[in-house]
Structure 1
Amino acid sequence: MSDLLRFATAGSVDDGKSTLIGRLLFDSKTLFNDQLESVEGVSRRRGDEYTNLALLTDGLKAEREQGITIDVAYRYFATPKRKFIIADTPGHVQYTRNMVTGASTANAALIIVDVRNGVSEQSRRHAFLATLLGVPHIVVCVNKMDLVDYSEEEYEKVRRDFSDFATRLNIQDLTFVPVSALKGDNVVNSSENMPWYDGAPLLSQLEQLFVASDRNMQDVRFPVQYVIRPQTSNGMDYRGYAGTVSSGVMKPGDPVLVLPSGFETKIKAIDSADGELDEAYPPMSVTVRLEDDIDISRGDMICRPQNTPETTQDIDARICWMDEKQPLNEGHKYAIKQTTRWARAIVKDVMYRVDINSLHRDESVNELKLNEIGRVKLRTTQPFFTDPYVQNPETGSFILVDESTNRTVAAGMIGTPKHGY
């Protein structure tokens, strides 16, 4: 089991998302005394019956004033079994880009649903975005069970509704937990108020979640970040290629192919800060030495001779548009970065926009505005080495950058209709 789990949280306004995170931190005893004293002090001044645990994550002043989460708040905590990184993402539709940012690297997504309101449009949108981003594990926390007298019938109604909607999505692992974030039921400790629930509390499920198999260990992909060739006075000839292993397992002696040149060679050695390694796997940062002297530069890709990514200048992808200044239009040109490779791209076609509440495709549009998601076709000035996002998120994703402002304006996920489009 991996010792680190990244998970993103999402929920409609007032579903108790920030309180749930606060409860996880509070009951797992991972808070510093000054943090707890600060929150308790604010709660007393406001006359709250319970310590307002939401203040632990709603750190921005604007969030405290409005009572909503508008930015991605990252929190770190650990238990004896695992380390965690939480991305507390916004619930509002106008902050879709923030959720995309927070969930893009997550192993799991926690979707919080108010049991009284049931599965809302925002709940459906959050599930859709999580599956679009390839998050393999989704945990639905049916919150505020204390307000319905811990009713199994009310919980089952939400579970059935969400499960019915989930059949339209490609969800690998779906779990439900009835909780009360305010009172702590089934968050860290099992609840005596819900004897009908025989599952583990939320924290135990997160501790036991197996994520090592989520990584692609079959397709060797090593984008070259930097060529290391030091000038030494003793005449030592060292040439290494530094980068992060995107997928697959690399070992000394393995045959490899370098793109775009197509030259084949073998791995001579794999170096790290601690010396030579017997193998390298994602997400390790290493330096690879090859047996032959090949002209390799930043942006090139090292892979297996019989297992190569697609080399293409035509990219079919879904993108989330993030620029509030200008929409994406057909014919516009942008800088594009995929793994370590940069080029320019032109928008050839905006095929459709996805209504992220109903999943309906609107094929009449020719532009995408802030927070909208759609399918586009791009043409790049040089070849890229890509895999479908569902197969390899590292080589299946990219960003678009407005060269005039240097703003990142879009995040993209490469795929074709047969890969979930």
Structure 2
Amino acid sequence: MTETIGRKEAARHIPATANDQWNYLLKGIWDQMIHLLISFEGQCDEETLDRAVRLALDAEPLTLMKFVEGNVPQFTGSAPDPGMPVYSVVRTPDPERTLALLLAKPVDPAKGPLARIRLIRSDHDLLCISLNHTITDAYGVKSFGSLIARLYRSLTNQTRYIPLENLHDRSFDRIFSHFSAEDRERACRQFQDREEVWSFPVSSLRKGARCYERITLDTAEFMRIRENAHNRGFTINDLLLSAFALALGESAPAPPGTCIPVLTSIDLRRYLPPDACPSLANLSVAFEVPIRLSSSGTTISAVNAAMARRKIGYAGIGAAENLCRTFDAGYLAVKRQLASMERETEAGLLGKNPFFSNLGVIPEGILGFGIPVRTAWMLPPVQYPPGFGLAASTCQGRLTLSAGFCREAIEAERVSSILSSMARHLPGFPSGK
């Protein structure tokens, strides 16, 4: 089925793709929110930003909708909650505390709307753009941020910019069209089974207070790490995955030889031409990379080889194909299956592999408000226990590592230690090739 968005169609409903449905049903394992943060040196023009945000919301009608369950799930219009408006300005002397309180409250996709934008104003402005994973992955959050920036700039310069209607296919159909049925079957078979299960040890399985920790490597340090990786034939993703597994092994602790299977994501838009990519869509999928702990050099070589096998075997296509086949049984059947698994997890009978996502570069277009920007970073969804996840994002040559977690399950100091351990491992990988 082809699912597209247009303003006229949005007045009625938009069909939910298989991946939309999947991400909605995963609300039991994380809070579903993806955040883009932009910290300015000074302050935005409040009225202009208000207009830019309203125009962006109108251009992307999914942001103002809610998810409706049923045999054929769909998105329909929703009335904003007066207690949680889509956009507002929050004035505060303590922006970090205000941000922490904001991030602790996810939006409810069953009530809508599915976007929340806050301008946190102190002596400088911090713009927080948050979208629910039910309608989009990280690419869409960045795309929406870029749209707001472009509209703000056009309003400031008094130039006319009218966003195009998003008429692109939101499903996997166009991506699948680049692969034969045999290729998809082979990829699906090769990567559909979980090879190992390793849950990060937690203090409690209760979903308690949601919070974040993050660490940022400055431009000079990250440039050295990136150059070192390139010279030795590794990707940044190889380094990040390896450092994540080694940091987890130190925190657990896990003896050498332990296999830590890490779920990692891939954006399948790579198989589409740039002008055919839908902005708000769930076109990212996850697959497992088993990482056996050893010395840093051996670990990164093994990760590099495992990722190469998955790229050659189209693991992302296999994951997407397997996901679509899961929904052949129907939405309600998948919902029942996941609910059963969630009960087993809460009872401590099922483990959950760690998750790592490289959210990529925050492009300059997102920062183009015409106001000096201090920095920008992204935050992944808060993982519920026994899950633990971490994300990386890059802005102006600075690498930010961030983790969302429940404080009752994992102490903030322990999460901070894992991030610091990752930062320590990144520059030190020797060549194992």
Q: Give TM-score scaled by structure 1 length.
A: 0.27
- Relative to its length, the structure with more strand (as a share) is 1
Question: RCO greater where, 1 or 2, for CA within 8 Å and sep 6 or more?
Answer: 2
